[in-house]
């Protein structure tokens, strides 16, 4: 967002107990929208700071624009310090496993007595019901809900290539928070709200449930599905792959004209989408031979001229160089993980406010462990002596010496 525009949530303070993706993702959305988000970490720091493999970027991705405090909440004094923060907070969010937040002395019923205006967002594997005692993961509910079944070939369930359910659960959590903030403006009272992985995944399956009801047949996995459109496929070119989706008769007419396919365009067997679906068995091989002889850039340019739905089959590493994303704003994010210090260009929030798309403003790089802990407690009214006592008792972590110079050392 531009510097001269007030941020929508600038008057909201959030205590973020999130870990991994769903919780921190909700905190990220609120922070990017201007909320003062305080990440409450365990004394040793968030575990995603140290994760390898495909999770190595989790912390940097979901924790920009936040402040950090690391507290030992397994101690009465740590819980008492946290309760001081609760008194001045608008929102508390958490995505611990069942029972954990209660063991840390942060039951909703108790915190509401400290701050009746508090909105308490609990993000779990499951909402209230027979499964509420279970823990869950993104991949667990992709398997459970049928998403993995629909994604992989028959007999080979396959999770989606991104943590789509964690992120959708975070988005639904933020929606619940914003609804509760509006309700609080009317009633003056906070409340507990919730979102979950399983119900978010089930929500994505609604059209497949409805489709099965209409057709009277179980939905088949996408690689073996009965196509709804005659041309809705990936094609090989000489130097890459493209996806083309022809979803209307107007698309088909422009497609045939642009690619010089007058014979196909006039074929009575291909005049409607229903016709084209029925004749995919011989039509697609013709199109595949056509595209296999062409350069990918020429195919993409022709599709653009014909105003067809199309895309190069891309790779995530290519997104920071995408001109459309760059025009909308990529966030230069410092990453310190696995002994590396670097800058990654990550997407901002996919939102618009007003006439123009506004860039996600980077107020703070992902924080060091407890980088703002002493500052946050002083804002809550603790004296310097009280803060120092918590440090000496190893309840409040003091930031590591290198945190202050973190950004200066980023290459």
Which residues have CB under 8 Å from 120's CB, separation 6+?
Answer: 91, 92, 93, 108, 111, 112, 190, 191, 192, 193
> How close are the terminal C-alpha atoms of the chain, in Å?
26
Write the CB contacts of 142 (distance below 8 Å, at least 6 apart in sequence): 148, 151, 159, 160, 164, 165, 201
Note the pLDDT of residue 146: 96
Taking 70 as the pLDDT cut, the residues of the chain under it are 1-6, 355-358, 402-411
Q: What is the pLDDT of residue 2?
A: 47
In this prediction, residue 339 carries a pLDDT of 76
C-alpha to C-alpha distances, 21 to 62, 307, 366, nearest whole angstrom: 7, 37, 14
Task: Provide the pLDDT for residue 1.
Answer: 45
Q: pTM for this one?
A: 0.91
Tokens of 138: 């993104």
Q: Which residues pair with 91 in a beta bridge?
A: 14, 119
Distance CA 131, CA 141 (A): 12
For the chain, what is the largest distance between any 2 Cα atoms, rounded to a whole number of angstroms?
86
CA 59, 62, 64, 66 dihedral sign is negative
- How much is the pLDDT for 335? 84
Sheet containing strand 192-196, edge to edge, reads 66-70, 36-41, 13-16, 91-94, 119-124, 192-196
pLDDT of residue 356: 63
- Domains in the chain, CATH or no CATH each: 13-204+323-409 (3.40.50.10540), 227-316 (3.30.1540.10)
Distance CA 80, CA 387 (A): 12
Residue 296's H or E segment, with its range, is: helix 296-305
Confidence at residue 410, expressed as pLDDT on a 0 to 100 scale:
42
């Amino acid at each position: 967002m531009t510097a001269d525009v007030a941020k929508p949530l600038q008057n909201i303070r959030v205590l973020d107990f999130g870990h991994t993706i769903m919780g921190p993702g909700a905190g990220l959305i609120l922070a990017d929208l201007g909320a003062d988000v305080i990440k409450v970490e365990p004394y040793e720091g968030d575990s995603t700071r140290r994760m390898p493999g495909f999770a190595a970027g989790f912390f940097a991705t979901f924790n920009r624009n936040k402040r950090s405090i690391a507290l030992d909440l397994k101690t009465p004094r740590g819980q008492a310090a946290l309760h001081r923060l609760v008194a001045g907070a608008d929102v508390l969010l958490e995505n611990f496993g069942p029972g954990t937040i209660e063991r840390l002395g942060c039951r909703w019923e108790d915190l509401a007595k400290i701050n009746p205006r508090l909105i308490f967002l609990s993000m779990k594997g499951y909402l209230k019901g027979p499964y509420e005692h279970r823990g869950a993961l993104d991949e667990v509910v992709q398997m459970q809900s049928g998403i993995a079944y629909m994604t992989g070939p028959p007999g080979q369930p396959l999770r989606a290539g991104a943590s789509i359910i964690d992120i959708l659960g975070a988005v639904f959590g933020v929606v619940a928070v914003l609804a509760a903030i509006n309700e609080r403006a009317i009633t003056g009272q906070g409340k507990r709200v919730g979102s979950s992985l399983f119900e978010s995944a089930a929500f994505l399956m609604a059209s497949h449930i409805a489709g099965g009801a209409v057709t009277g047949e179980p939905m088949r996995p996408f690689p073996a599905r009965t196509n709804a459109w005659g041309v809705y496929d990936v094609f090989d070119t000489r130097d890459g792959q493209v996806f083309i989706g022809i979803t209307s008769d107007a698309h088909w007419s422009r497609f045939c004209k642009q690619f010089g396919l007058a014979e196909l365009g006039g074929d009575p067997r291909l005049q409607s989408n229903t016709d084209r679906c029925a004749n995919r068995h011989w039509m697609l091989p013709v199109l595949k031979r056509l595209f296999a002889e062409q350069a990918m850039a020429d195919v993409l340019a022709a599709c653009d001229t014909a105003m067809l739905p199309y895309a190069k089959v891309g790779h995530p590493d290519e997104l920071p160089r995408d001109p459309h994303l760059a025009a909308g704003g990529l966030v230069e994010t410092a990453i310190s993980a696995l002994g590396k210090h670097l800058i990654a260009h990550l997407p901002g929030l996919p939102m618009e406010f007003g006439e123009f798309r506004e860039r996600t403003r980077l107020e703070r790089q992902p924080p060091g462990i407890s980088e703002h802990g002493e500052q946050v407690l002083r804002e809550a009214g603790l004296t310097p002596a009280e803060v120092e006592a918590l440090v000496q008792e190893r309840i409040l972590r003091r930031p590591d010496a290198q945190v202050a110079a973190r950004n200066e050392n980023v290459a």
